[in-house]
Each structure stands twice: as C-alpha cells, then as structure tokens.
Amino acid sequence: MNSLIDQVGTESDFHDDQLLLPAVEDAYGGVIVEMNETMNSERFFLLLRASLFKWKILEGFRYHHAEPHYIMLVHWIPKTADTIPANASHRIGIGAIILNDIGELLVVQEKNGRLKGTGIWKIPTGVVDQGEDIFRAAIREVKEETGIDADFVDVVGLRETHNCFFGKSDIFFLCMLRPLSFKLQKQELEIEAVQWMPLEEFAAQPFVQKNVLFKSVYELCLAKKNGNYVGFTPKPIKSGLGDEISYIYVDTLALPASST
C-alpha cells in the first residue's frame, strides 16, 4: 500500500478528482472509464494507480473482450466466486428459403468459402448484423445476394453448431420468405451465379442428398407447398422497461385472436 501511495502522492490525493481518471458507475456497481482527451503514458499510469486505489481494486485486471471502439478489462471485487458474464458466445446466421409461383427455389453459387468452385447450388445465407432483427436480416441478405425483394413469412427451423468462427457457437435460422419481384441480379463480390431452380433439381444434387441441412430445406419446401407446416412469425413486443420494440417468434395461428 505504501509503495502505491509513494508513486502517486499522499492518500488524500486519491480523493482529488483531478488526480483520477474520468469515470461513471454502471448499473452493476462497476466503473466505466470515459476518456475524451489523450494523455501520455506516464500520466495515464499515475492516474490509473490513483483511481484503482479509490475504487479499492488493488489487483490486476483480465481481458474480457474488445470491440472496434473500446477494450474491456474486468476485475471481480467481492471475496466470492467471479460471476461476470462471459463475452457473447454465439454468432447468428440466416438461410432464406424462397419459392416462386411455379414451385422453383431461389438458389445461388458462392464465389468464396468452402463451396467456392464446387458447382453446388444453395439457398442465400448470411450473418445477422449487430442490432439487426432476424427477419430484417433475411430480407436484406436476399436483396443483396440475388436482387429479389421479398416479404418475411416465418422461421421454419434452426440449427446450432459449436466451435465455428473464432471458436464461437453458431445459431442458424432457416427462414421462409415470399418473393415480391423476380428479376435476378447477383451480388458481384460474393455470388458466382443465381437462378430459380426446380425444387426436384435442387434436391437431386449429390451434396444435398448427403447434407442434412440442405435436405431439410427440400423437405421444408415440400411441407410448406402442401400446407402441412407452420413456422414462427415475428410478433412485436415491448419489454416494459422502455419504448424499444423487440420481437418474439411464435406460431400466431395457434394463439388467441386477441394476442396476435
């Protein structure tokens, strides 16, 4: 303790806000440092040591995660087991199933990734952006990859896999959409080719026969065409903590009319 005080000043200095890093408390009793001005490393070190003393954090931090605009370090203060939640563990992806009026499936060939150069036709897929709703991501990816405008119908299935991108788990939502336009325009950066393909031709691909996910796409298309399958539709809700709208995905046909 004395060595810490010697490096910064007297103990009373720790109560002088000018000798502390600018910070605010968060909702969980933690401290968020907000710096709007740069400073040299020596002054930052001294202010950090003084601030740590005031915050009663006398041991080291551990890295939690990093984003483009900040790095988060954490330290558990109480003499109990550390229960700080881990960083985000999953990535969210979508696959878009779209049938036209004559039962053809919208498919693409990719320019990049593990399917590059294989000649395999697949449904449009993509990653949900931060803060983006699943149904909006499906509509966006279809437009970007194929030029087709579409309405979202429902979520018809999901798949979870682990140890994927950067060691994260992956949740992949299969979504059914309804086309609003039919003129194809491929995305030059990512897509090699795009077409409307007869469903039976899609299913006949050897890769589809061996791949459970692709085969499920075919089976879901058949079930939808026959009217034997109902998926989950986004229903807007408010959490009660504010005005922000979120969505719960439910079978609206099975709910009482007053709740839909």
| Percent of the chain surpassing pLDDT 90 | 48
- Altogether, the residues listed in the chain come to a count of 260
- The pLDDT assigned to 102 comes to 93
> pTM for the whole thing?
0.72
* DSSP character at residue 88: P
- The pLDDT assigned to 3 comes to 36
* pLDDT tens-place string over residues 161-188: 998 877 888 999 999 999 999 999 999 9
* pLDDT tens-place string over residues 21-32: 887 777 656 677
Catalytic residue among 11, 37, 110, 144: 144
* pLDDT tens-place string over residues 204-250: 999 999 999 999 999 999 999 888 899 999 999 887 666 788 999 99
- The pLDDT assigned to 113 comes to 85
Contact predicate 7/13, CB 8 Å: no
- The pLDDT assigned to 32 comes to 79
* Better pLDDT: 150 or 243: 150
- The pLDDT assigned to 42 comes to 84
Helix (H, G, I), strand (E, B) or coil at 230: coil
Among 79-93, 121-135, 151-165, 204-218, the least confident range: 79-93
CATH architecture of 91-233: Alpha-Beta Complex (3.90)
How far is it, in rounded angstroms, from Cα 161 to Cα 167? 11
Active site residue 144: yes
Every domain of the chain and the residues it spans: 2-74, 91-233
